[in-house]
Amino acid sequence: MLDNLTQTPEPATQDDAARLAELIVIAGDGLPLVVWEGMRQGDESLMDIGAARAARETGGFSFRNADVIRDGGEVISALVSYPLTEKTSQTDLATVPELFKPLVKLENLVVPSWYVNVLATVKAARRRGAGTALLSAAETRARAGGYQHLSLITGDINPARSLYESFGFRVAAQESIVKDGWNYAGENWLLYVKDLGAV
């Protein structure tokens, strides 16, 4: 593995859905598993649920919104991003599960922006430039779409914060994390924003 690693992102395909599910679990420090547990029916596995969601044609977590980097044919890093164009109203926010209310509140602060929902790299391929290459691809999409900001939300103990800051992101706001069945050591969600200037 890693013999043929390139730093050129390419669009994900539906066949990448299972690997995208694995990578979103890494990016979310297990939070997606809590979400998928609530969707489980019968004897399907949590990763089957995640792969099915990634294989959808629509929705935020869809292969259609993902760029990947491959080692040979194997996906070793992925980024899921898309535009945030509408705020969640206070009425709708009241119906959002408590676990996600802090995230939705932070998202509302950066509408409109190009939002990085997922960025993860398998452990063996880290620190080889894949994350920077994928963030650059997201920035290219943002500029092409006429967006003046890139945004993302991460936990306060995420070691990827140093990558985001070196790429030009700065903390713009924070909200306390609601754990509600999620075992996570962090205390706050951090909203990161990168100003792209006039496009």
The secondary structure of the chain, three-state, reads CCCCECCCCEECCHHHHHHHHHHHHHHCCCHHHHHHHCCCCCCCCHHHHHHHHHCCCCCCCCHHHEEEEEECCEEEEEEEEEEECCCCCHHHHCCCCHHHHHHHHHHHCCCCEEEEEEEEECHHHCCCCHHHHHHHHHHHHHHHCCCCEEEEEEECCCCCHHHHHHCCCEEEEEEECCCCCCCCCCCEEEEEEEECCCC
Mean pLDDT of 119-125: 94
pLDDT of res. 1:
46
Per-residue pLDDT tens digits for 50-65: 999 999 999 999 999 9
pLDDT of res. 100:
93
Given the candidates 3.40.630.30, 1.20.140.10, 3.40.50.720, 3.30.420.40, the CATH classification of the domain at 10-195 is: 3.40.630.30
Least confident of 5-14, 40-49, 130-139: 5-14
Indicate the average pLDDT of the chain.
94
pLDDT surpassing 70 at residue 82: yes
Does this model's pTM top 0.85? My answer is yes
Model confidence at 5, in pLDDT bands (50, 70, 90)? low
